[in-house]
Structure 1
Amino acid sequence: MKKQIGLKTAVALMLLASALTCVLLLGGLWLYFGGGLLSDIRTYAALRRDIGEYYIGDYKDSDVTEAALSATVTALGDKWSYYMSPEDYQKYINSSNNQYSGLGISVKTDDATGGILVVSVYAGSSASAAGIVAGDIITAIDGKDITKLALSDATALVDRQIGQTVRLTVLGTDGKTREVSAEYALIDTNPVSYKLLEGAIGYIAIRNFDGGAAEEFIKAADDLVGKGATSFIFDVRNDGGGKVSELKKILDYLLPECDIFVSVEKDGKEDVSRSDADNVKLPAVVLVNSYTYSAAEYFAAALQEYQYATVVGQHTTGKNRSQITLELPDGGALHISSGEYLTPRRVSLTKQGGIAPDKDVALSDSDNVLLYNGQLDSAGDTQLNAAIQLLDKA
């Protein structure tokens, strides 16, 4: 005959099991986080409790949490590390693949009307399908006049979910006003543009080193060589870098068998990547400026060190830390410096203070703005013209 356990005994056993679980859980947290961090968590919980109980104003819990997470990473004092909200993280994922959500246009304020002047339209975008062309001026969004709004406030009215449409009032170059609807969509963009200049110079501009950059760069270089290019200009001005994997593929394509990337882990261990013997060797110039950093800066430094290319332009930023992106439970992410990299000659670009050009050529502030917006005429681009002159003499 089985012995029955009394109710009081069962309850006591359950309470004891719960207590043991709590002790083990707290002990595990203590070992994992350390006592100091647990104390900080208790303090933060008390802070949030007191805000909820006593604060007289209105606020959103999500805003407070995101601000706290962001401030935590900012306190590291590393400008390359930051917290991303779930929305920002999704945008980051898209941009890392050279995808952007929007209508597919680049814009600026139209001084004459106060509207949004369409500077360029991405091929294959919803804006292009809707018949929007460069030179059009958007004067209203969903029936709301935007000619008195700041550009940032006006463009914010376009922001919506993928697949939704936006109604635009457009003033065309013919002086006529029309209504168009365009879908807010995910747009694939090409980070590389190129052309053959006079003198058989192949010009390749690399906007970033994110997804697809290496494939597009190699296609461009092969096409230019096939069209008779006998030298190159690689333009990485205003290039904020991107993925090391894309950088290494491009350097492998250009350089012979040699060290092309040196990463240094937290424990000081070096991990060296090398290229194979195949390479494309033509006289080359790399254009840089103060907004050239990360993979773009390393690209210029490696070609300069191996005397593959002459560097022309302005002193670069100076960055030698690499980052990883870790997804967090809230759907956001931590983008944090986890390693360093050195040039093939083992130079820290941070300690060196960036790259000093072989030929220092400045652009005026106004020309730098035009360059950033893709509106600087080649005739007025003193850096580009200096590169062309160097190659003409080669």
Structure 2
Amino acid sequence: MRQKRFSLFQLLLAAALTAAVVLAAGALAVNHLLGGAGGRSLVEAWHLINTRFVGEYDQEAVIDGALEGMVNALGDRWSYTLTADELSAQNQRRTNQYVGIGITVNYANEEGLEILEVAAGGPAEEAGLLPGEVITAVDGISLAGEARYEGADLIQGEEGTTVTLEVLGADGGTRTVEVTRASIETDPVESRMLEGDVGYVALSNFYDNSAQRLEEAVTALQEQGAQALVFDMRDNGGGYLRELTDMLDFLLPEGPIFISRDRAGNEETTYSDASCVELPMAVLVNANTYSAAEFFAAELQEQGVAVIVGEPTSGKGYSQQTFTLAYGGAVNISTAAYCTGSGTSLIGTGLTLDAEVYNTDDGTDAQLAAALELLAE
């Protein structure tokens, strides 16, 4: 039986009733606390459901639905709700760590999960799993057909526990492999030296340790003789403000690099110190370059140190905060508008591209090639 929890509305009701008793102007206090008639209506509806509704229902599901409807009605694509499980998964993901077996898969094979990569030193490598093999079952549950989309969730679990996989090899043979789940740290940075002494740095997110890893990668490339840098922000959905500003501080000279304004109009400016990286730069972007990744490109371009190559971006100009709620879930809502160091907002415009270039399916990277051409001029 599901353990009964206090909901957001129940807590609001309790707080409102307490305020009404304690304060002399009780009616006014309740009205202010609940946001007027609309807020009271939410509490009233929840009370009616709990006291009059005759059907079966899941209280937690009702709360999730009510919160989701409320946040969706804001009309802000960047605000969303999280169930307790989704909040836990998000928090784990943002550490650039996860509990699993250390494989990258795709869903192209209808027989199961096709292994694309096996993390060096991870549980999967130790168990002998190889790229190209297909996981056809997890703990006896078949992954054939549509079931393969649930495979990743089945493989994940608590650290130290084991999972049994049925594996189809490239030769058509099958075998059973038992793998012990472990906490695996993911590296958000991939770097290498390209021809012409150009350092390439791809960043997958702006979560924990991403700024430190970018600084380490750039420093290593400089030591190898890099004369220019390409930052690949394609398919990067952003992350933490602190990681963004740490990166910009490392790369840019002294001056303002980020301006934020809250609902009350309070303004906060973040500054870079005089230490910087004095190399020409380019930033690769696409339609999935959001938030901190989009801003990263904009600020480097504004400071005159980088060109931007790729596809038009969304024009995100709000930062969000995640607020946990009493019942275990959370709301992630936009709480501030932000601008570049000179006060430019990206809302409604997105990035100004130095070269608008689209990749095709021919296997070449036209966007990277265009960036290298601009750096060579």
Q: Verify same fold: TM over 0.5.
A: yes
Change (3 A) 1:103 1:21: same
What does residue 363 of structure 1 align with? 359
What does residue 381 of structure 1 align with? 365
Match of 1:128 among 125, 131, 153: 125
Larger mean Cα displacement after TM superposition, 73-82 or 291-300: 73-82
What does residue 171 of structure 1 align with? 168
Q: CA deviation at 1:39?
A: 3.5
- 1-structure distance, mates of 2:75, 2:300: 31
Q: 1:78-93 maps to which residues of 2 (within 5 A)?
A: 78-93=76-91
Q: 1:219-298 maps to which residues of 2 (within 5 A)?
A: 219-298=216-295
Deviations 1:267-289 (A, max 9, x none): 22221111111111111110001
Give the unaligned 5+ runs of structure 2: 1-16
Q: 1:91-240 maps to which residues of 2 (within 5 A)?
A: 91-111=89-109, 114-240=111-237
- 1-structure distance, mates of 2:270, 2:150: 46
- What is the root-mean-square deviation in Å for CA atoms of aligned residues? 2.2
Match of 1:40 among 5, 25, 42: 42
Change (3 A) 1:34 1:277: closer
- 1-structure distance, mates of 2:159, 2:60: 23
Which amino acid counterpart does residue 47 of structure 1 have in structure 2?
Answer: I
Deviations 1:184-211 (A, max 9, x none): 4432111111001111110000101111
Give the unaligned 5+ runs of structure 1: 1-18, 368-376
What does residue 370 of structure 1 align with? none
Deviations 1:233-289 (A, max 9, x none): 100001011111111111111111111111112122221111111111111110001
Larger mean Cα displacement after TM superposition, 89-98 or 24-33: 24-33
> Identity percentage over the alignment?
39
Contact 1:108 1:151 (8 Å CA) reproduced: no
Confirm whether residue 67 of structure 1 aligns to residue 65 of structure 2.
yes
- 2-structure distance, mates of 1:245, 1:21: 38
Change (3 A) 1:133 1:29: farther
What does residue 373 of structure 1 align with? none
Q: CA deviation at 1:132?
A: 1.7
Q: CA deviation at 1:150?
A: 4.3
Which amino acid counterpart does residue 390 of structure 1 have in structure 2?
Answer: L
What does residue 336 of structure 2 align with? 339
**Bigger Rg, structure 1 or 2:** 1
Contact 1:316 1:355 (8 Å CA) reproduced: yes
SS of match in other structure, 1:324: strand
What does residue 7 of structure 1 align with? none
Q: CA deviation at 1:44?
A: 2.5
Deviations 1:344-367 (A, max 9, x none): 22111113x211310010123x57
Change (3 A) 1:50 1:165: farther
Which amino acid counterpart does residue 134 of structure 2 have in structure 1?
Answer: I
How many residues align structurally? 357
SS of match in other structure, 1:357: coil
- 1-structure distance, mates of 2:42, 2:243: 41
Change (3 A) 1:63 1:43: closer
**TM-score, structure 1 normalization:** 0.84
